[in-house]
Structure 1
Amino acid sequence: MTQDLALVLCLLAATVLMFALNRPRMDAVALIMMTLLPLTGVITLEDSLAGFSDPNVLLIALLFVVGEALVRTGVAQRLGDLLVRSAGPGEARLIGLLMVLVAGIGSFMSSTGVVAIFIPIVLRVAASSGTSARRLMMPLSVAALISGMMTLVATAPNLVVNAQLIRAGHDGFSFFAFTPFGLPVLVLAILVMVATRRWLGGAAPAPGPDRPHLADWIAAYGLGAREVRVRVEPGSAWAGRRLDALDLRATSGINVIAVERGRGFGHRLIRPAADTLLEPGDVLFLDMFSPGIAQQDFAARFGLHPLPISGRYFSDHSQDIGMVELLVPPGSALIGKTVTDARFRSEHGLAVIGIKHGSKPVTGPVPAEPLRLGDTLLAVGPWKAIGALRSGRDLLVLNLPAEMDEVIERPRRAPHALAVLALIVALMVTGVVPNVQAALIGCLLLGLFGCVDMNGAYRAMHWQSLIVIVGMLPFSVALQNTGGVDLAASVLVAAVGDAGPRVALAALFVLTALFGLFISNTATAVLVAPVALAVATELGASPYPFAMTVALAASAAFLMPVSSPVNMLVVGPGSYTLTDFLRIGTPLVAITLVITIALVPLVFPF
C-alpha cells in the first residue's frame, strides 16, 4: 500500500466517521473533503470540482423541479390520496403499496429521479395518514434501489455492465433480463421493511400550528343544515340567465356561493358575480339562509336537480373553496351595517355565510344582520381572494384554516404536468436523447405550460443533497489514481482462481458491495465489471452470470448514505443516521446475495 493510498483511506474513514456522528452536517463534510483531497496531490482541483459539471448531478437537480411541478399542479397530492385510500388504515399495507409503486415506476426511469419525485408525495402521505416519515422514507429508498434490478435501463450500473459485455465482444443483456432477480428481492424486501419498521422508531408527525379546520367552522357557525347543491337542468328557468336578473338573495333568501362547471381536469369553480350567465349542467352551491324554504319543492319549481351533500362539503372541496374568519374592530365603518349594505362580495370577492355575536352564531338571514363591534364573520370564496385580504381599519383577519397549507397552486395544469412526465419517461426509456437532456426538455416544457416558475424551480432543488453527491465523487478518482482499485482486483483474482464459480460470484458480490460503501454504485460498476469478466475468462465460464452479479450487487447499495444518491436524498427528510442504514440494509444485502447466488446460475448457466 502506497503512502498516497493510505492517506486517501484515512480521509475516507474520517468522512464515514463524521457522517456517522453527523458532526458537522453532511454537506459541510463533503465541502471539507473537496478542499482537502486536492491538497494531498492525489487529484487535481479540477477533479475535485468535476462533480458540479457531472450530468448525473444536473439530472438529480432537474428531477427535483419535476417533482415540484407535480406538487404544484396537484398530481402528487392525488397520487398520495390514491395511495392512502388504497392502503387503508394499515401501515404495513401502505409500505407495501408504496414500494411496489416506486419499484414499478423506477423500472423505466432513473431511480434517483423517482425518489426526487416521490419525496413530496411521501411527506404528504405521512402527514395525512399519521405515519412517521422515518418509517416511509427508508422503504422509498429501498424500493428505488431494487427498481434497478428490474430492467436494463432502470439504473446506470446496469448500462455500465452491459456496455462492458459488448466491448468484450459479447451480446448485451435483454431489456427484462434483470426482472427474474428483482421481483423476488422486492417481495422479500417488503416483508423485511414491514417487519423492521419499528427499528426506525419515530413518533407520528408533529401537529402543525393549532389552527381550526373547515369542519370546525362549519359546526361552530351551524352551517351543515343550510348547504344546498343543485344542478341546472337543460329546461330550467335559470338556464341562460344572469345572476343579477334572478336576484336570488332578495327574492328567495338564497346566497350563491360558487358555480361549478365542467368535469374531471376540466372542472373549475366560477366566482359568482352579477353578470355570471348560468349554463345547463352548472352545479350551484347555495346557502339557503331563509328558514321555511322547502328545498325539494324549490328545486322542482325551477327545474333544478338536487345533488347529495353533507356537512363536509367545504372540507371535501377545500382545493376550490376556502374560508377565513374576520373580526370587526373598534372604529370599523361596518358597524351598524348589514353585509348587503357593505357590498362585501363586490369589495372582497367573498360571501359572508356566518356571523357570531360573541360566541353565539346568528341563526337568521346573515345578509340582513347588522354588524356589531367585536363580531366575527365567516367568509367563503376562492383562496386567491382570501390571500388578497389584508387587516385594516374595517376588518381584521382573525384566523385562517389549516387546509390553506395544502392548497394546490395550479390545479388546471395537472394534465400538462402528467403529459410532460410521460414524455420524460418515454425519452429516457427509448434513449432517443440522454437522460439529462430529457429532463432539461421536460423542465422547459413545465415552465412553458406554467406548471412551475423559475423561483419555484430554484427553491425545489435540494442543495444539501446535491453538495453531498458532488463532494463524494472525488473519492472515486482518488482511489483509482492511488491504485486502490487495482490492488483490490488483483487480490480477488488470486483468491478465487482455484475456487468454484459460485464462490467467485459470492466474492464478486461482496467486493462490489464493499466498494459501494464508499463510492457511488455507478463508479463501483465501472471498476468491478472488468474484474468480473476477467474472472469468468480465467474459470472458462460464461461471462453473463458474473456480469449480472456485479449489476445486482451495485444496486444493493442499502448499507450507507453515500452508497447511492437515492440514499442521500432521503437522509434529510427521514432524519436518518448511519446506524439506521446499517440496521435495515444488512438483512437486505444478505437477502440479495442469497437470491443472486441461487438464481443467477439457473437463468445464466456457467
Structure 2
Amino acid sequence: MVSASVWQVAPPTGVTPQMLVVFAVTLAAVVLFVTEWLPIDVTAIAIMVTLIVLEPWTQISPTDGISGFSSPATITVLAMFILSAGISRTGAVQIVGRKITAFAGDSLDRQLLATISVAGPLSGFLNNTPVVAVLVPVISDVAHKGNTSPSKLLIPLSYASQLGGMLTLIGTSTNILASATSARLSRKYPSLHAFDFFEFTSLGAVVLVVGGLYLMTVGHRLLPERVPPDVAVDETGVKEYLAEFVVDDGSPLVGRRATTAVEASGVDADLLQLIRDGERFTDELDQRRLRPDDTLVIRATSETLGGLDDVDGLVLPGAGEAVDGADRAATDDRSLVHVVVPSSSPLVGQTLRSSTFRARYDATVLALRTRSGAVRDRLDDFTIRGGDTLLVRASAGGVDRLARTRDFVLSRDVGDPDYRSEKIPHAIAIMIGVVGLVALPWELLATVLVGATGIQQLSVVAGFQQDIMVSALAGVVTMVVAGVLGPGELYESVDWTVIFLLAGVIPLGVALERTGAAALAGNAVAASAGFLPDLLVLWVFYVATGLITEVISNNASVVLMIPVAAAAATAIGANPFAFVLAVTFAASTAFLGPIGYQTNLFVYGPGGYRFTDYMRVGAPLQLLLSVVTVLGIALLWGL
C-alpha cells in the first residue's frame, strides 16, 4: 500500500526531469498498446519493470511496482470473472437466450428490444465481457431463425452490454478500477471517494435507455446487412477465406494441371498459389502439373472449403500435421464452426503450428481470416491476433471443448454443452449474496431491528456491510463449496490479460500522480477554462477519454485520465468527483471501433463488419451520450 504521506506532497512547479521520464514511459505504453507490437499483458509487465528500473525518476520502488497485483481493484476484477463464469457454467444465460428467441420471432423491433433488454441489465451485475461472449451465438441464432441479418443485432448487443455495465460498480472492470483510483486519490482530493455499489445507477439507467432507444430507432438503420438474412448462421458473414490443401501421395490429381484439379472438384473456388518445395508459383498455374506434397492455396467461402475437404486426393494440414486417410474417415461426422479469437486468448501472438491447435482442441483449422481480410501467408506460420476468425472442423466433443474454453467465442449456438443446470439456484443466490453484502443499508437495518425488538445486541448487524473485494472473494469460495465451479475451473475462468494489464498500469497512474506529471497535465487542460465554462471543460474530458480509449484500452485510459481530470477540476475550482465520473463513463463506453472494447471485437467476425461500421453507428451515439452524461453528472453531482 502507498503511505498517506505520499499524496500530501505538493506537485512541483514547472516541468521536471521526473515528469519528462514518466511522460516518455506513458507515450511508449500508448504506442505499444496501439501497435500491438507486444501482447497487451506483456506490455503491461514491461511498463511495470521500466517504472521500477527508473525509480530515481519515476519514484516507483519495487514494492510500489508490484502493488498492482495486490490492488483491491485487481483482486475484485479477478473474483468477478470467476463469479460470472459460475453463472455461465450453469447455462442460465442460455436459458435466457432461448426466451429471447421465443419472444423475438421475425420482428426486427422485437429482436432489438430483446437483445438490448437482456444484455443491458445482465451486464450490470455480471461482467459484460463474458455476457457478450455467451450471447453472441444466441443472438446470431435469433437473427437466423427470424430471417434477420446478424449484422443488425450484434453491434447493438455489444453496445448495450457496455451501456448496461454502467448500472453498478461491478458491471465492468473499468468501474472497479476507477473506484479504486478515486479512493487512492481521496488522500489528496478530499471530495473523491470509492464508488458505492449503486453510486451512478440513476445516471447509468438514463444512459442505457437513451442509448437503447437510439439503437432501436436510428442505429440499426445505419448498419448495413453485411450478412444476408438467409445465410446460415455458420457463415457469420465471412464471405472469403484462404485455405491450404495438400496433394496426397497416390492422389488421382497427381499429373493433372493445377487449375483443372480445382475445377474438377465441382466447387466454386479460386486457386491463388501453388507451393512446391518452399517455392511459390502464382503464374501459369494452368500449365503446372501437380506432384505429391504440392500445396494449393485456395480462396473460397466456408461452404466451398468444406466441399474441398471431401475431394479425394486433397488433404488438409491441421496445425502442421497432414490429415491421413484414417483421420479423414474418423472425421466424417465433424461439423464446421467459426470461432473468433478474443484479445485475451493464449493463441494471440502464436502461430497455428506453435500453438499445437489440433492436439489442444481436437479440431482442425480449415482457414483463417484476419480483421483486414483473408491471409496471404502460410496458415501454419501466420501469427494470430485478437479479432481473427478461424473456420474450424471439429467433432462433437471438439465443438463442446471450444464452446467451454475462454480461448474463443463461437459464432453459433452449439447446443447445451453439459451445463450444470441444477446449480442455477445456487449460482443466482450466491450473486445476490455478493451484491447484498455490499448494497444493503446494514446500519439502517440494525437501527430498525433494535427499535423493533429492543435488543441492543442486534446493533452488530450494522457491521455486516463488506467491501466489494471481500464480498466477491467470499462468493468465489461459496461457488466452489456449492459445486457451481470446480477448483480447477477457477483459473481458466479468469481473463489473465486483463489482470496483468491492471497490475501493470496501476503503478503508472501512481507515477503520474507522485511526480506531479498528472497535475501538470491537469493544469494545462485547466487553461481552457479561461475561455470555456466548467461544463464544457467536463465535456472535453469526456470526449478526450473516449478517443484515448479507442487507441489503448479502457482500463489504461482510466488510470491515465482520472489523476489528470482530478487535478484539472481542482485547478478551476470545480468538483473533482464529477470529472472522475465523466472519465469513468467515457472509458466504459467505446463505440468508434472494434479495438477500444473487447465486446466490440467479439462481434466483429460474426457480424461480418468493417471498421467503418462501428464509426458509422458509434460516432452519433458517442456524441449523444457525451451530452446526456455530462448534463446528468452536472445535475446529479454538481460542478
If the TM-score is normalised by the length of the shorter chain, which range does it land in? 0.5 to 0.7
2:565 paired residue number:
528
Q: Which moved more, 1:554-563 or 1:471-480?
A: 554-563
1:430 maps to a residue whose letter is L
Root mean square deviation of aligned Cα: 4.9
How far apart, CA to CA, are the structure 1 residues paired with 2:631 and 2:154? 30
Cα distance change, pair 475–600 in 1 and its aligned pair in 2 (3 A): closer
Cα distance change, pair 580–421 in 1 and its aligned pair in 2 (3 A): farther
- Write out aligned runs for 1:244-255 (5 A): none
- Write out aligned runs for 1:418-567 (5 A): 418-430=428-440, 432-497=465-530, 499-510=532-543, 513=546, 519-521=556-558, 524-525=561-562, 527-529=564-566, 531-536=568-573, 543=575, 547-548=577-578, 550-557=580-587, 567=597
- Structure 1: stretches of 5+ with no match in the other structure: 209-324, 326-382, 388-401, 538-542
1:25 paired residue number:
39
Cα distance change, pair 74–553 in 1 and its aligned pair in 2 (3 A): same
How far apart, CA to CA, are the structure 1 residues paired with 2:567 and 2:578? 12
1:279 paired residue number:
none
Cα distance change, pair 525–91 in 1 and its aligned pair in 2 (3 A): farther
Instruction: Provide Cα deviations, 1:396-446, integer angstroms capped at 9, x if missing partner.
Output: xxxxxx998623342222221222122222224238212222222222222
Cα distance change, pair 153–564 in 1 and its aligned pair in 2 (3 A): farther
Cα distance change, pair 51–580 in 1 and its aligned pair in 2 (3 A): farther
Cα distance change, pair 32–151 in 1 and its aligned pair in 2 (3 A): closer
How far apart, CA to CA, are the structure 1 residues paired with 2:214 and 2:612? 18
Preserved contact between residue 22 and residue 577 of structure 1 (Cα < 8 Å) = no
- Is residue 53 of structure 2 the alignment partner of residue 39 of structure 1? yes
Equivalent position SS for 1:589: helix
Instruction: Provide Cα deviations, 1:163-183, integer angstroms capped at 9, x if missing partner.
Output: 96993499x997755257525
Greater C-alpha Rg: 1
Cα distance change, pair 582–448 in 1 and its aligned pair in 2 (3 A): same
1:416 paired residue number:
426
Cα distance change, pair 13–83 in 1 and its aligned pair in 2 (3 A): farther
- Is residue 98 of structure 2 the alignment partner of residue 86 of structure 1? no
Shift of 1:450: 1.4
How far apart, CA to CA, are the structure 1 residues paired with 2:226 and 2:28? 25
- Is residue 215 of structure 2 the alignment partner of residue 190 of structure 1? yes
Instruction: Provide Cα deviations, 1:486-526, integer angstroms capped at 9, x if missing partner.
Output: 11211233320464343343344345556766534366445
Shift of 1:22: 3.7
Equivalent position SS for 2:127: helix
- Write out aligned runs for 1:193-592 (5 A): 193-198=219-224, 206=234, 406-430=416-440, 432-497=465-530, 499-510=532-543, 513=546, 519-521=556-558, 524-525=561-562, 527-529=564-566, 531-536=568-573, 543=575, 547-548=577-578, 550-557=580-587, 567-568=597-598, 571=601, 586-592=619-625
- Write out aligned runs for 1:39-118 (5 A): 39-41=53-55, 42=58, 43-89=60-106, 93-107=110-124, 109=125, 113-118=126-131
How far apart, CA to CA, are the structure 1 residues paired with 2:595 and 2:467? 19
1:229 paired residue number:
none
The structure 1 residue matched to 2:190, chosen from 167, 189, 200, is 167
2:379 paired residue number:
none
Cα distance change, pair 555–501 in 1 and its aligned pair in 2 (3 A): closer
- Structure 2: stretches of 5+ with no match in the other structure: 1-14, 237-329, 331-395, 401-411, 442-464
Preserved contact between residue 413 and residue 451 of structure 1 (Cα < 8 Å) = yes
Shift of 1:596: 3.9
1:194 maps to a residue whose letter is H
Instruction: Provide Cα deviations, 1:218-272, integer angstroms capped at 9, x if missing partner.
Output: xxxxxxxxxxxxxxxxxxxxxxxxxxxxxxxxxxxxxxxxxxxxxxxxxxxxxxx
How far apart, CA to CA, are the structure 1 residues paired with 2:23 and 2:635? 38
Identical amino acids, percent of aligned pairs? 22
2:134 maps to a residue whose letter is I
Preserved contact between residue 578 and residue 633 of structure 2 (Cα < 8 Å) = yes
Preserved contact between residue 116 and residue 160 of structure 2 (Cα < 8 Å) = yes
Cα distance change, pair 499–117 in 1 and its aligned pair in 2 (3 A): closer
Preserved contact between residue 480 and residue 486 of structure 1 (Cα < 8 Å) = yes
Shift of 1:485: 1.0
How far apart, CA to CA, are the structure 1 residues paired with 2:514 and 2:139? 45
Cα distance change, pair 419–598 in 1 and its aligned pair in 2 (3 A): closer
How far apart, CA to CA, are the structure 1 residues paired with 2:616 and 2:51? 30
How far apart, CA to CA, are the structure 2 residues paired with 1:412 and 1:420? 14
How far apart, CA to CA, are the structure 2 residues paired with 1:574 and 1:428? 36
Q: Which moved more, 1:178-187 or 1:54-63?
A: 178-187
2:93 maps to a residue whose letter is A
Shift of 1:137: 6.7
Preserved contact between residue 68 and residue 503 of structure 2 (Cα < 8 Å) = yes
Preserved contact between residue 126 and residue 205 of structure 1 (Cα < 8 Å) = no
